[in-house]
């Protein structure tokens, strides 16, 4: 009997999250406590690991009571009001805003007229983008909300960097179909290229396996999008936050199992999941052959 497990080589932290986590660890090596404005990553397991090292997650209200402290700005970015508060309270900022998000913030600040942002209302990145628009932004989460837009005015549409590129394209096409003068619509394709590439790769990965174990935090917007993408191409896709959620009944003899995750899922967690499956399935299925590989199938 053969059982295969493959870890998706393209899953794991995006560059922006890698930069933020590395910066947090570097700063924690110099001090016992470091404040992070909001969760540095939407992954409960990784947060617990960093909390043990001294990372303390705070909200804006808590930050307003800090004085002469150091606060990390995560990859999602923040609106100008946060920087003003830091200056007022003599707070040193470790700014880990993703360069892709910084570029998007700049674009929005430099764009005149009505701004439409395709994103999740209340999401940290979206809040930062709205802050740069100075009251000119309309946030829409789906096509059912396009009536929020003033179609009599020119429209500049942007996307939260982690949204589904296909969904963004469909939304833009729908908005265009509602406009008498289509020249009044300007589409800014601001989905992160690294995120966009993962969509196509994940589709192929999901289709090439019998079972997909998708690892992500429950608060991860990107995780929900990528999980649904996998599920749409492989019905035997299961979303877990921890190893305890894995059910051996999901698997059958001879299954090729794929382990993947969101841009907020660390590589070490994917590896832990694969190692756990190795032990659990070997005892459950009594497999003679088993392998954990990175990128290609192998056996021993």
Please give the model's pTM, rounded to 2 decimal places: 0.83
Q: Is the pLDDT of residue 189 over 50?
A: yes
2-12+194-294 with 100-192: one CATH topology? yes
Whether 1 shows a pLDDT value over 80: the answer reads: no
Round to whole Å and give the CA distance between 295 and 108: 39
- Residue 125 bears catalytic tag: yes
Average pLDDT for residues 152-171, to the nearest whole number?
94
CA 250 to chain centre: 26
Averaged pLDDT, 60-70: 95
Phi and psi of 227, rounded to 5°? -65, -45
CA distance 76 to 295: 30
Q: What local confidence, expressed as pLDDT, does residue 284 receive?
A: 55
Model pLDDT, residue 32: 86
Architecture of domain 2-12+194-294: 3-Layer(aba) Sandwich (3.40)
CA–CA distance, 125 with 105 (Å, rounded to integer): 9
Which pLDDT belongs to residue 281? 75
Catalytic pick from 6, 46, 78, 125?
A: 125
Average pLDDT over residues 201-213: 96
Are the C-beta atoms of 8 and 294 separated by less than 8 Å? no
Torsion sign (Cα): 151, 153, 156, 159: negative
293: pLDDT strictly greater than 50:
no
Range in 23-37, 67-81, 115-129, 267-281 with the lowest mean pLDDT = 267-281
Tell me, what's the pLDDT at 283? 60
Q: With a cut of 70, say whether residue 294 has pLDDT above it.
A: no
Domain boundaries, the chain: 2-12+194-294, 15-98, 100-192
Please give the mean pLDDT across all residues of the chain: 89
Question: Which option is the CATH number for 15-98: 3.30.1490.20, 3.40.1190.20, 3.40.50.11270, 3.90.550.10?
Answer: 3.40.50.11270
Per-residue pLDDT band at 297 (split at 50, 70, 90) = very low
Domain at 100-192, CATH from 3.40.1010.20, 3.40.50.720, 1.20.1440.230, 2.60.40.1930: 3.40.1010.20
Using a pLDDT cut of 90, give the percent of the chain over it.
Answer: 73
**Cα angle: 10, vertex 222, 130; to 5 degrees:** 130
Helix (H, G, I), strand (E, B) or coil at 213: strand
The half-sphere exposure of 249 on its side-chain side, counting CA atoms within 13 A, is 1
The stretch 133-157 carries a mean pLDDT of: 94
Q: Please, which pLDDT band fits residue 253 given cuts at 50, 70 and 90?
A: confident
Nearest to 112 by CA among 83, 135, 143, 79: 135
């Amino acid at each position: 009997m053969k059982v295969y497990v493959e870890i998706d080589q393209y899953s794991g932290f995006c560059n922006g999250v890698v930069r933020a986590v590395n910066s947090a660890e570097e700063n924690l090596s110099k001090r016992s406590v470091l404040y992070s404005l909001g969760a540095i990553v939407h992954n409960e397991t990784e947060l617990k690991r960093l909390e043990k090292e001294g990372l303390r997650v705070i909200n804006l209200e808590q930050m307003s009571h800090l004085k002469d402290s150091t606060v990390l700005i995560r990859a999602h970015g923040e609106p100008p009001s946060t920087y003003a508060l830091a200056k007022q309270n003599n707070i040193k900022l470790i700014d880990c805003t993703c360069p892709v998000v910084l570029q998007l913030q700049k674009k929005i600040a430099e764009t005149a007229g009505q701004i439409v942002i395709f994103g999740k209302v209340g999401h940290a990145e979206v809040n930062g983008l709205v802050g740069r628009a100075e009251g000119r932004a309309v946030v829409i989460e789906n096509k059912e909300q396009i009536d929020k837009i003033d179609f009599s005015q020119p429209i500049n549409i942007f996307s939260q960097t982690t949204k589904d590129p296909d969904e963004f394209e469909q939304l833009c096409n729908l908005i265009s179909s509602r406009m008498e003068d289509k020249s009044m619509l300007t589409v800014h394709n601001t989905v992160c290229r690294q995120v966009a590439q993962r969509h196509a790769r994940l589709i192929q990965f999901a289709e090439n396996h019998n079972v997909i174990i998708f690892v992500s935090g429950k608060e991860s917007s990107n995780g929900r999008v990528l999980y649904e993408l996998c599920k749409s191409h492989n019905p035997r896709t299961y979303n877990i936050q921890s190893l305890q959620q894995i059910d051996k009944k999901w698997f059958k003899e001879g299954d090729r199992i794929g382990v993947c995750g969101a841009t907020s899922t660390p590589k070490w967690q994917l590896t832990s999941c694969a190692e756990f499956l190795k032990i659990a399935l070997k005892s459950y299925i009594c497999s003679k052959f088993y392998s954990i590989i990175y990128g290609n199938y192998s056996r021993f």
